[in-house]
Amino acid sequence: MLQAGDLAPSFSLASDGGRQVDSATLKGSRYVLYFYPKDDTPGCTREACAFRDRLPAFDKLGVPVFGVSADPAKAHDKFVNKYSLNFPLLADPEHQLLEAYGVWVGKSLYGRKYFGIQRCTFVIDAKGRIEKVWQKVSPDSHAGEVLAYLAGEAAPAVPVAKAAVKTAAVKTAAVKRAAVKKAATRKAPPKKPVAAKKAAKKAATRR
Number of Cβ atoms within 10 Å of the Cβ of 59: 13
How far is it, in rounded angstroms, from Cα 114 to Cα 51?
A: 28
How far is it, in rounded angstroms, from Cα 115 to Cα 94?
A: 13
Listed in order, strand segments (DSSP E) in the chain are 12-14, 20-22, 31-35, 65-69, 89-91, 104-109, 112-117, 120-124, 130-134
Active site residues: 44
DSSP string, 153-207: -PPPPPPHHHHHHHHHHHHHHHHHHHHHHHHHHSPPPPPPPHHHHHHHHHHHHH-
Which backbone phi and psi does 67 adopt, to 5 degrees?
-90, 145
Report whether 32 contacts 48 (CB < 8 A): no
As a whole number of Å, the end-to-end CA separation of the chain is 92
